[in-house]
Amino acid sequence: MDLTGKKIVVIGGAGLIGSHTVDHLVKEDVKEILIYDNFLRGSRENLQNALKDPRVKIYDVGGDIMQTDILQSALEGADGVFHLAALWLLQCHEYPRSAFDVNVRGTFNVMEACVAKGVKRLVYSSSASVYGDAVREPMDEDHPYNNKNFYGATKICGEAMAPEHSNTSRRACALTAESRCLYATPTARLPENRMRSVSACVTIVRFGRSRA
């Protein structure tokens, strides 16, 4: 996808990974970057530099992926969507039903909204957790799933839904991020390898590459 003049929605765009994704998108010749976030984990501080760009806006109607009507309204006219919203690992362990609702049903809501609004490209952010402990080294994208926690299970579910969604809808192209190390640590800035992962996600949208 040529990003020139396009509207991009970043779901979970106020989180650490999401805000860095926004920072990379600002470098592209896009028309609009809309941030859809409920700010439970994300913060406006993460976006303070990006918001200086008039193309970057926070969707002030709402930012909850469980509110499907508001979600669909945010995707009106969108060309591409980054889906980075999720409950994180410890929350999934402590509150598995909420984790299922947000990470699985919420991801389905995003995919459904993309179909309803004719979004051309969806990037779904998975996690290194799907690999679990290494069965072999080095670990690559052909490494088998060896997950042993509920967070990883929800991400595997999202990865399984993405290609099915793309094949059956024929209206929105869903892609999983090629680099699954899209997870955050509570530090001010991302390490260089994870910055490359965010950059790779933007590349996926631009050129339409997807993991088989």
- Residues with Cβ within 8 Å of 20's Cβ and at least 6 positions away in sequence, in order, are 190, 195, 198
Any catalytic annotation for residue 95? no
Contacts 24+ apart (CB under 8 A), 45-48: 46/14, 46/15, 46/16, 46/18, 46/19, 47/13, 47/14, 47/19, 47/22
Token reading at 200 = 């790779």
Token reading at 98 = 């909420």
Query: Cβ(27)–Cβ(6) under 8 Å?
Result: no
Could you give the CA distance from residue 46 to residue 182 in angstroms, rounded to a whole number? Answer: 17
Of 59, 124, 151, 183, catalytic = 151
Query: Cβ(72)–Cβ(116) under 8 Å?
Result: yes
Alpha helices in 127-170 (DSSP H): 150-169
Query: Cβ(211)–Cβ(175) under 8 Å?
Result: yes
Catalytic residues, by residue number, are 151
